[in-house]
Each structure stands twice: as structure tokens, then as C-alpha cells.
Structure 1
Amino acid sequence: MTVWDRPEPPTRPAPLDRERIVAAAVALADEGGLEAVSLRKVAARLDVGPMRLYGYISTKEELFDLMVDEVHAEIVPDEPPGDWREALRDRAHRTRQAALRHEWLADLLGGRPTLGPNALAASEAMLATFDGFADIDAVMRAVETVGAYVTGAIRHEVANLRAERATGLTMREWQRAHGPHLSKMLATGRYPALSRLVHDGSEVDAGTTFATNLEWVLDAVAAKLVPSSS
């Protein structure tokens, strides 16, 4: 029985429910990452004994599932998307924004499917736009391809944000600090392709990079999808 199917225990004098537990866990994770979340710490945040939580949640993995589904409420579209491309684009940008608000989400993306009501609603809204495609396997490949890009891009961006906090250096400051070493290595002539990239490539912000690369992925997916009427 999943955590969503299991009924909550009867109300006791100190009010408690899964909604309050999850809200406390999300707040802890927002403050200190997933390592800051444990049933003991959540119980302390709620000013209840740790054993009270076991009537609602059996393991920390269940708690993580509930936390991910809670954040999926921010990913469900406000209105039904117009087509599959809009749906995948909207989901990608909403997932990125959710991960920037809750960086710990990046550590839980890409695993087994989330079966909570918010995650199912987000998936239903997206998949409903593929009604015109008979090849369900092609639809699955399309969704998985875009999902893999989004997960990788978000994890890369969040890793850079964490590195900035850990080192106290922005990416630009880090590049300046390591510039002399890189210039010396490129001057050897052993890395002509890398040298061209460093000297001639354009530098853009993370949001622009995410959006541009996403469109490239969507273009590739569009080339493989064949509507039923074709």
C-alpha cells in the first residue's frame, strides 16, 4: 500500500496530518537540503515526538515522495496546453523554476515515476496533448528524451549554484581565477578545438541556455513524431 493509499491515524490532542508534516519537511529541505531532513528533525519542527510521525509516514523515502509531489503542484499547468510542444516546453520551464526554488528537487529528479496526485495531474495534462499520435511508444520516447534533457540541465545548473556558495565565487569570478592556467594550456597548441570554443564562443546566462537547448531538443523530437493523420 502506498503512502497515498494508507489512511491517516485518528486525530489526537496535538493536531497533525501529512500536509503539515510535508510542509515542515519541505521547509527544512529548502533551508538545508535533503541532508537536513529526517523524521526526527521534522518532528522537532512540529513540536511532536518522532513516533507520532510513523502513524503517517513509514520511511524517509515515503517522506521524499510526498515532498516531490508537493512541489509538483507548482508544475501543473495553469491552463491546458495547446499542443504537445507547448506542453513539454511549459513542463520543462516549470520544473526548472520549481528546482530553483527548491534546489533539493534536483537530487530527486530522474528516478522512479512519482505517483502522487499532483505528479499524476501534471503528467495527464502533458500526455493529453498527444492524442493525435497513434504510436504510443514514440510518445514515450519523446517524453523521455525531453525529460532526460531537463533533468540533466537542471542538475548542472543547481550544481553550479552550489559551487558558487561553497567557493564564494561566481562562475565569472571562477573563470577569471583559472584563466591564466587555461590560457597557458591553450597556448601549447595541443587543444585547437577547445581554444576555438573558448575564444570564439558566446557566453549566455543559464536561463537563455536552458531555453535555447530545450528548443533544439524539441526540434529533434518533432522530426520523429508522426501524427496519426499523416
Structure 2
Amino acid sequence: MTQHMEASRRLPLNRDRVLLAAVALADEVGIEALSMRRLAQELGVVPMALYKHVANKEELLDGMVDTIVGEIDPPVPDAHWKSAVRLRVLSARRALLRHPWARPVVETRTNTTPAVLEYMETFVGMFLAGGFSADLTHHVMHAIGSRMWGFTQEVFDDSARQNGTEQPSLTVEARAAVARQMAESHPNLFQIAMAAAHDDESVVGHGCDDQFEFEFALDLLLDGFQGLHERNWTSVG
């Protein structure tokens, strides 16, 4: 292993190698711990060597997003538009789940890089190839929003747990007490909370099945888009 690491460090430095190393380091230590100095140390170079390939930390993050986008499967040739979109979105979701730090980085990017533009171009192309009008596709893209990247902002926000600041687990007795209190104070929320399958590892809402909820909403959107398309919907009155 040591010989392999040493051999890797002797490879010529280039932009792709810098970005792949940055992604791997963020996977290991988290995005907050990623710095140019830490990355340089990982690559066995002085920090100034990195600036020949990325101008600053923001450009590094842009490039890391491009690397993640490169992991998303391309559109399936000759597939029905709905299948093509669904497969692509779920591929994007798998890519983000492999890199838990990627979502907040994607959300905070202000530069639209060529890789991101190309992804959006081909994403729009799946609807146009399916016979959607440019008008309907425009509104579809607004509706699908961040879901095209494999995530969405959920009504049951669990950002504290995602950021590693979740509160200690409650005892069974404490959970029961909370449930009783919620049933009395917020009966509607309690009713729907008790109606769904539970998944302790959810990042959507405590007890919700992440993947099921994501695919449920995605399929709901795709079915709605199909209905509008079949009715030749237009935003012009």
C-alpha cells in the first residue's frame, strides 16, 4: 500500500488528478475539513502547485461538482422519455449518495460550468425528444428543480442530522411521551406520521423511507408531465 501511494505521488500533477483527489478527500474527511493545504499534503506537493490547476477554493469546488456530474449515467438511447428521465434522475441520486458532501456544494455553486451546462442541455433534450413543446419543457424544468440532481428540499427538514448535529437518540419511553404529546397538540401531523413505513437512516424526515419518498414524488411529477403533454398544454391562455 505504501509503495502504491508513493508511486501515485510521483505521477505528474494535472487538473483531473487534483479534482479526483479532492473528491476522495472530501469523502474521507468531509467538505468542511477540505482545504488547499490538506489536499496538497494528500498529493505530496506544496500548496502553490495546486494553483496551476485550480485558481482558488471556489474553482476547486466547481471542478468537484463537475467530477460528480461525470458519474451520472448519460441518457439511455431510444428510451421512452419518461423512462429516460427517471433513470437519469436516479443515477444522479446514486452519485450524490456516494458523496454525502456534494448536495450542499451543488446548492451553493454560482458558476454554471460547461459540465453542468451539458448535463442540463441533455436533460432538457430528453423532454424535447419525447415531443414536449419548448413551452411545456420550460415549466417542467421549473417543477422538477433540484430533483434533476438527485435531491430535493423536503417539507420534513432533517438538515441538523445531515450536518452531524443530531440530538442523542431518545429512549423508548421518551419517544412514547413525545408521540402522546404530538397526538394531542398536532393530530393531523401525527396521523400522517403514523401512516408511513419507517427507515431509521432517512435523511428526508425521521422515520421516512428516503428512496421511496423520492421516487414517489418523481413518478408523480412524471405522470403529471405526461398528462400535460398528452393534452397539448400551453402556458399561453
- Relative to the length of structure 1, the TM-score reads 0.74
Shift of 1:219: 1.9
Contact 1:25-1:37 at 8 Å conserved across structures: yes
Give unmatched runs, 5+ long, in structure 1: 1-12
Shift of 1:132: 5.1
1:196 equivalent to 2:196? Answer no
Shift of 1:56: 1.4
1:181 equivalent to 2:177? Answer yes
Q: Out of 115, 134, 138, which is 1:140 matched to?
A: 138
Corresponding position of 1:151? 151
- Cα separation, partners in 2 of 1:205 and 1:132, compared to 1, 3 Å: closer
Corresponding position of 2:205? none
Q: Out of 50, 54, 79, which is 2:51 matched to?
A: 54
Corresponding position of 2:3? none
Q: Percent identity?
A: 28
Write out aligned runs for 1:20-169 (5 A): 20-77=17-74, 79-80=76-77, 82-110=79-107, 111-112=109-110, 114-117=112-115, 119-129=116-126, 130-131=128-129, 133=131, 135-149=133-147, 150-152=150-152, 159=159, 162=162, 167=166
Contact 2:85-2:123 at 8 Å conserved across structures: yes
Letter in 1 for 2:67: E
| Aligned-CA RMSD value | 3.5
Shift of 1:43: 1.0
Corresponding position of 1:225? 229
- Cα separation, partners in 2 of 1:206 and 1:97, compared to 1, 3 Å: same
Shift of 1:146: 1.5
Answer 1 or 2: higher relative contact order, Cα 8 Å, separation at least 6.
Answer: 1
In structure 2, how many angstroms separate the alpha carbons of the residues matched to 1:197 and 1:152?
20
In structure 2, how many angstroms separate the alpha carbons of the residues matched to 1:219 and 1:143?
14
Give unmatched runs, 5+ long, in structure 2: 1-9, 199-207
